[in-house]
Chain A
Amino acid sequence: KAGVTQTPRYLIKTRGQQVTLSCSPISGHRSVSWYQQTPGQGLQFLFEYFSETQRNKGNFPGRFSGRQFSNSRSEMNVSTLELGDSALYLCASRQANPPDTQYFGPGTRLTVL
């Protein structure tokens, strides 16, 4: 089976712009979670989607949003980018319910200038 894929791998944006990141889970996995990783805060949970519905949400502002499609692929969107949004954004998929093992994608490195 192919692993979790994320596109793009690297992205440079300027403050105020918006960005959309994409995640394709492992075939058969219905749950996709998104995480932000920064040197200062470490890994933090953004949100989880399961069968096209947001099941859980972390403590991030409304500028961070996501969605999941019927084929389980997921996108996350960040609007009105701030310098502090520079981070590695990781998605992870699992078959169904936590706390099952998650399989992580390689991440998208976002730099906001």
Chain B
Amino acid sequence: KNEVEQSPQNLTAQEGEFITINCSYSVGISALHWLQQHPGGGIVSLFMLSSGKKKHGRLIATINIQEKHSSLHITASHPRDSAVYICAAFLNTGNQFYFGTGTSLTVIP
């Protein structure tokens, strides 16, 4: 059983669409990270959240601690947003990160 579940697995959107990627976790966490991985492997940390909401440009991340759920939103999506998005939870039960399986996003011009 995965401590961290992510959906959808694959997502195709038209340029300009609003996109939502979801992440659920089953146990208590200290923090949740959203990562972006482009083809070729490089991973960039987008957000670290322990409560509430954060915004950076067209990206918004929210977390609901009570519901054990986080979302990553992309407004006005662009083809350069095409990447794999991964949520990573730092659980209270173990001193390490647990990763979702990733969402592969393709934005079509």
- Residues in A lying within 8 Å of B, measured CB to CB: 33, 37, 42-45, 48, 55-56, 58, 88, 90, 92, 98-104, 106-107, 109
Contacts and interface: CB of A to CB of B under 8 A. Distances in A.
B30 interface: yes
A56 B44 contact: no
B99 A90 contact: no
A45 B42 contact: no
Contact of B95 (A37, A55, A102): A55
Nearest to A106: B42
Contacts, number: 56
B57 interface: no
Is the interface on chain B under 10, 10 to 19, 20 to 34, or 35 or more residues? 20 to 34
**Interface of A (DSSP majority class):** strand
B33 A101 contact: yes
Contacts of A101: 33, 45, 48
B96 A45 contact: yes
Contacts of B48: 99-101
B101 A90 contact: no
Given A42-B102, A43-B86, A98 B97 contact: yes
Contacts of A56: 95-96
20 contacts: A37-B41, A42-B99, A42-B102, A45-B98, A56-B96, A98-B30, A98-B90, A98-B97, A99-B30, A99-B33, A99-B48, A99-B90, A101-B45, A103-B45, A104-B35, A104-B44, A104-B45, A106-B42, A107-B41, A107-B42
Interface string B29-47: 0110101000011111100
